[in-house]
Structure 1
């Protein structure tokens, strides 16, 4: 059984593959899984920048966070939401992982 088989019941499988094809989105999914709770778009962007080589003192480049926060809000999180991988509240700017796709799928895709 494919890690994606469960998702086929809930929506278009090609949406899932398309959403997970992007490395940045796979990274976001991994960080959301590690968080075990909803994160704000801001916090997700901070964690992504820090894990991608942020400063060793724990602070991340503010310009990089701003760019990533914008792309997460307008591109990446909506695509993950459309595929049913995350739940997103634009009003609260919070995102959380759903249980609809096994994280083994990320390994199968090559994350």
Structure 2
């Protein structure tokens, strides 16, 4: 199913942020829903280029705060994820399949992107 004219710019806006691309890549690889804590730890480890166990508390708090207040609401609004703020469970949303091809194309063509691409 083709995306609406309004959905395409929103998809690109969401993919423009490297943290959001990482989150969507990570969710694309998961077979089952994930916890907010696990996602926050993975994003913090990716962001600092370290092992999840090596992430300091300040970085972990910063990344979890950004996920909770900025990134996850954008995904939820677009229907790319669903998350339950009470149980802190995150899963692919009803519109995830709309953004997945763009995400995979960017991942497979990463070497072709201009220098300094976010």
When the two structures are superposed, what TM-score results if normalisation uses the length of structure 2? Answer: 0.72
The CA distance in 1 between the partners of 2:57 and 2:10, in whole Å, is 32
Structure 2 residues without counterparts, runs of 5 or longer: 111-118
Structure 1 residues without counterparts, runs of 5 or longer: 1-5
The residue number in structure 2 matching 1:50 is: 45
Q: Does 1:92 align with 2:87?
A: yes
Higher relative contact order, chain-length normalized (CA < 8 Å, sep 6+): 1
When the two structures are superposed, what TM-score results if normalisation uses the length of structure 1? Answer: 0.75
Normalized per residue, which structure has more helix? 2
Report the aligned-residue RMSD.
2.4
The CA distance in 2 between the partners of 1:7 and 1:32, in whole Å, is 22
1:70-85 alignment, distance < 5 Å: 70-85=65-80
**Alpha-carbon displacement from aligned partner over 1:33-79 (angstroms, at most 9, x marks no partner):** 22222222211010112233124x83322211111001101100110
